[in-house]
Amino acid sequence: GRDISLAALQRHDPYINRIVDVASQVALYTFGHRANEWEKTDVEGTLFVYTRSASPKHGFTIMNRLSMENRTEPITKDLDFQLQDPFLLYRNAR
């Protein structure tokens, strides 16, 4: 399973060299500051955390089951994570 997944990820980013962890079902929400609430996006699927042979050395991708639009984020010092079980929250520079 991971070999097929690695090949699929490498089609999007040839520098990915190893899958570190997988979550089989995730859904992405964004925080709407105007409404002050979480809003579901159209990104839902399998989450892959991986290492890369180029900088940045780590990243994650949600392989979207709902469309061809995957969500990919480099893991850098600018990415903030917070675990609020069962949720993993992150904030990027955008």
Q: Read off the amino acid at residue 30.
A: T
Q: How many structural domains comprise the chain?
A: 1
Condensed to tens digits (0 to 9), the pLDDT of residues 39-69 reads: 999 999 999 999 999 999 999 999 999 999 9
pTM for this prediction:
0.91
Range(s) of the domain holding residue 35: 2-91
CATH of the domain at 48: 2.30.29.30
Quote the Cα angle for 86-50-7, to 5°: 120
Condensed to tens digits (0 to 9), the pLDDT of residues 4-20 reads: 899 999 999 999 999 99
**How far is Cα 72 from Cα 80, in angstroms, rounded to an integer?**
15
